[in-house]
Amino acid sequence: MQAQFDGDTNKMTPAELLPKFYEKNNLGDDGGLSSPVVRIEVNKRFHFFMPNYDARRKAVLWHDIHHLATGYSAATFIGECEISAWEIASGCGKYWAAFIIDTSGVVLGCLINPRKIIQAYARGRRTSNLYHDTIPAETVMTMSIVDIQQALGLDKVSMESKASVKDLFNLGLFLIFGGLYSLVSIIQIPLLVLYNIWYAVKRKIS
């Protein structure tokens, strides 16, 4: 099974790996928790910023550990779409910010590479995640990646999971909601553009 890190590093803990993960993905010393904004990188030439609100901060640690455990890249846009599909399928629990962000990721991912999104969604339907708060944060931080994978059932399900008819039907229903949500979200685009102009001016003044 493919993983974010290979070999002995899978025996390491999030406490040991997250600093390297943050550095590798240019996320800052704390993964961006203390930053007022989030940098969204669409590709190497284009990125934009959005506010880093509290509800997102509550979900981001679990999200980053999910990257470590699942093997979905945090350095590519499709990797973020894959983990969005996996998190949606395995459930976002009370973390509504994760659900909202992941919804956009699934819809965009289906437009870019539907095969990978279907595989990630099918994998999520057969595994669990950390959003359900079944393992305390202090415990997760000291568990090895292998142990986290086992706790979530990731050790038994491939990244190339084959989707069943039920999986496809379930994803289809979700995409109806996701499509409607995306249409409504279009009205936010001018606000996002204005926010990025304001933030660019603010950085120059600072």
How confident is the prediction along the chain (206 residues), in pLDDT tens digits per residue?
344 445 577 889 999 999 999 998 888 888 888 888 888 776 667 788 888 889 999 999 999 999 999 999 998 889 999 999 999 999 999 999 999 999 999 999 999 999 999 999 999 999 999 999 999 999 999 999 999 999 999 999 999 999 999 999 999 999 999 999 999 888 888 988 899 998 889 888 87
Q: Does residue 67 contact residue 54 with C-beta atoms inside 8 Å?
A: no
Q: pTM of the prediction?
A: 0.88
- Tally of helices (H runs) and strands (E runs) in the chain: 9, 2
Structure tokens at 174: 């979700």
d(CA 180, CA 176) in angstroms, rounded, equals 6
**What are the two backbone dihedrals, phi and then psi, of residue 52, each rounded to the nearest 5 degrees?**
-100, 85
Q: What are phi and psi of 38, to 5 degrees?
A: -120, 130
d(CA 90, CA 84): 10
What is the identity of the amino acid at 178?
Answer: G
Instruction: Supply φ then ψ for residue 71, to 5 degrees.
Output: 90, 0
Q: Which of 170, 185, 183 is nearest to 85 (CA)?
A: 170
